[in-house]
Chains A and B, each alone.
Chain A
Amino acid sequence: MTENTLSRRDFLNIAWGAAGALALVETGGVVLSFFSPRVVEGEFGGVIDAGAADTFAVGSVTPFTQGRFYLVRMPDGGFLALYRKCTHLGCVVPWNPAEGRFVCPCHASAFEIDGQVINPPAPRPLDRFAVTIVDGIVRVDTGTPIQRDRTSPDDLVYAEVAP
């Protein structure tokens, strides 16, 4: 008999332990998936039709209540969909047209028209949603908010110039 042979008792103990651990993991998996969030099709979380691109004036901010985002058309004509939820603690950030910025009522975070933080405590720019423009129609995918550390010109989407 070599030093590291497993006695029958040890083997059974380990087998019991492993079976028990496996059962726990399985139960945990069942519980977690049972309670995991469900997405309802066709509501917030799906792709939303925002309308024809040329109906949005340059430099305008249009709220979409159902989709919970603002469709921003930047002064250069680029489109951007901003999730209306404050990146600080989740309040709804209203657009303040007089000041030309988003100001959060909860802890006074302020954001530029492109979502850039002007005033903390918000730790990062407003999240955005992916925008696609097909045949002049703007579509916003509200499935996953895209977090970003800083704003970038690459976030903007342009309508193709009509032929």
Chain B
Amino acid sequence: MTDELDPRPEDLKQRVWESIQRDELPPRDDRGRMRVVMNNLVLHLHPSKVAKPTLKFTYTWGLGGLSLLLVALLAATGVMLMFVYTPSPATAYQDMLRLQTEVWFGQLIRNLHHWSGNLLVIVAFLHLLRVFFTGGFRAPREFNWILGVGLLLLVVGANFTGYLLPWDQLAYWAVTVGSSLLSYIPLIGEALRNFLLGGPEVGAATLTNFYGLHVAILPLTLMAIVSFHIWRVRKDTLTIPHTLDGKVDGAEGGQIEKVTTLPHLVSREMVFALVMTGVILLWSVWVNAPLEAAANPDHSPNPAKAAWYFMGLQELLLHFHPLFGAIIIPGLGLGALILLPYQRFDLSAEGVWFRSKKGRQMAVVGMITAMIAVPAFVVLDEYVLDLPGMLPSLPTLISNGWLPLAALLLLLIGYYDGIKRLFKASACETRQSVFVLLVTSFIVLTIIGVAFRGEGMALMLPWEVL
């Protein structure tokens, strides 16, 4: 028997390095670059080669990547905050003050966490819009769209549970109002709210519950689904953008040029991440996260507003019976959002913003219609129309629920039909126009709620609200 010697090099330093990094760095050729991507835990989320047209920045706007960056920032700053914060009504607010005045860079870390969390809600929403308007949800990516919708809900949930933790007036009442929306779910609503709050009102038990959700359950679920989401992006392959006339973008002689992920994609991602980190950092240096007076369960501020992303819902509540404003209308919206990818899609429009020239015009029409109609309806309902007063014999569930909802749905159907005929458009383009109309309505409602509602939730101009 001969002793066979290990063929690997003698030098210990080199042996340690090679046990960690198997491939040559920096790689010398395309093969090497592809191998590095394949063998690296993080980079492996990417394919080793990508189609060149998908790299175009104005195709994705880097919104998915930005979401991921924000999640990373949130995790890092969140863990830091855990070391200086105790989730109990007696200490929480004191900890916040201490964080801002005594802890080195405490205010900065809190600002970073606060602004990243709010930005993430916006960016995740924009990412959803981007995927819809470029047709990135069509088969086989339907399920990834649903995962995305789930992620958006998780992001909102994480933000909402975090909202309570500073335990100031803003936090306390936003969570009181927000969680009361739940109690309008028929039959189980009340129990559900009590379960979430750990009692009938926001209190010590609520703070413990929300803390557990905010630092463990929601982030872990989020991480798990995000990995799934990204893995599916890779498995389902990226959408190759078409041009307006239906040609595949960047295809010469029927061949789509492919480039190695390293460095073409990775370097772009790094630059973008660096720039965005810089922007968020600068913003957080200059703009402090708000902190009001300590929470006082005996005194509601006037007006008491929900978290800003729920202000659209809160605005709906001012016009509809709560069962409709809080549950039925948002439920219909969410259901439609989930079913969206299962509609039929015009394949030649994949990757084209707003499907076609006609689609773009119709989207603009939808947007303008919403921007005019929604404020008009809000003002009309506020000052002129009083359905429950006009129909006193009917229960408000009908006069302020079914009736206005039916009227709005009829108007929507009328809009669908009208614009489809007007533009001689396909169902796909018309549906998109309706989608734009609804999304714009939601945004307009949110803006009205945030900026035009003042004391007693009366309508007023933004400078009177402040």
Interface residues of A in 34-48 (CB under 8 A from B): 35-39, 44-45
A interface secondary structure, majority: loop
Query: Can you list 29 residue pairs at the A/B interface with Cβ under 8 Å?
Result: A32-B195, A35-B195, A35-B198, A37-B195, A37-B199, A37-B205, A38-B205, A68-B201, A85-B201, A89-B314, A89-B317, A90-B176, A90-B201, A91-B173, A91-B176, A91-B300, A94-B299, A104-B300, A105-B304, A105-B455, A106-B302, A106-B303, A106-B304, A106-B457, A107-B457, A108-B458, A120-B396, A121-B322, A123-B396
B200 near A123 with CB under 8 A, answer no
Instruction: Name B199's contact: one of A39, A91, A105 (CB within 8 Å).
Output: A39
Q: Is B120 an interface position by the 8 A CB rule? A: no
What CA separation (Å) do A120 and B303 show in the bound complex? 16
The reply to whether the CB of B238 lies closer than 8 angstroms to some CB of chain A is no
A136 to B330, CA, bound (A): 51
CA distance A89 to B315 in the complex (A): 13
B177 touching A121, Cβ below 8 Å: no
CA distance A52 to B105 in the complex (A): 56
How many residues on the A side are at the interface (Cβ–Cβ under 8 A)?
A: 26
Q: Which residues of B lie under 8 Å from residue A65 when comparing CB positions?
A: 298
Number of B residues contacting the other chain (C-beta, 8 Å)?
A: 35
Which of B177, B201, B209, B298 is in CB contact (< 8 Å) with A89? B177
| Contact status A92-B299, CB under 8 Å | yes
Question: A78 at the A/B interface (Cβ < 8 Å)?
Answer: no
User: Interface digits, B179-192 against A, CB 8 Å rule (1 contact, 0 not)?
Assistant: 11100000000000
Complex Cα distance, B205 from A121, in Å, reads: 29
Knowing A37-B199, A91-B176 are in contact, say whether A105-B456 is a contact too (CB < 8 A).
Answer: yes
Identify the closest chain B residue to A39 (Cβ).
Answer: B199
Contacts A38-B198, A88-B322, A123-B396 known; 19 new A-B pairs at CB < 8 A: A37-B198, A39-B199, A45-B199, A85-B200, A85-B201, A88-B180, A89-B176, A89-B181, A90-B176, A91-B177, A91-B304, A105-B302, A106-B177, A106-B302, A106-B303, A106-B304, A107-B457, A108-B456, A120-B400
CB of B356 to closest CB in A, whole Å = 43
Option from B200, B298, B318, B456 in Cβ contact (under 8 Å) with A145: B200
Q: How far is the CA of A48 from the CA of B322 in the complex (A)?
A: 32
Interface residues of A in 60-100 (CB under 8 A from B): 65, 68, 85, 88-92, 94
CA distance A85 to B304 in the complex (A): 13
User: Which residues of B are found within 8 Å of A91, using beta-carbon distances?
Assistant: 173, 176-177, 300, 304
Tell yes or no: B321 within 8 A of A by CB: yes
CA distance A36 to B299 in the complex (A): 27
Q: How far is the CB of A42 from chain B (nearest CB, A)?
A: 15
B217 to chain A, nearest CB (A): 11
Query: What's the least CB distance linking A108 to chain B, in Å?
Result: 4
Give Cα A90–Cα B299 distance, bound, in whole angstroms: 12
- B457 A108 Cβ-Cβ under 8 A: yes
Residues of chain B with a CB closer than 8 A to A89's CB = 176-177, 180-181, 314, 317
CB contact under 8 A between A120 and B199, given known A89-B177, A91-B176, A105-B301: no
A45, A85, A120, A145 interface centre (most CB from chain B within 10 Å): A120
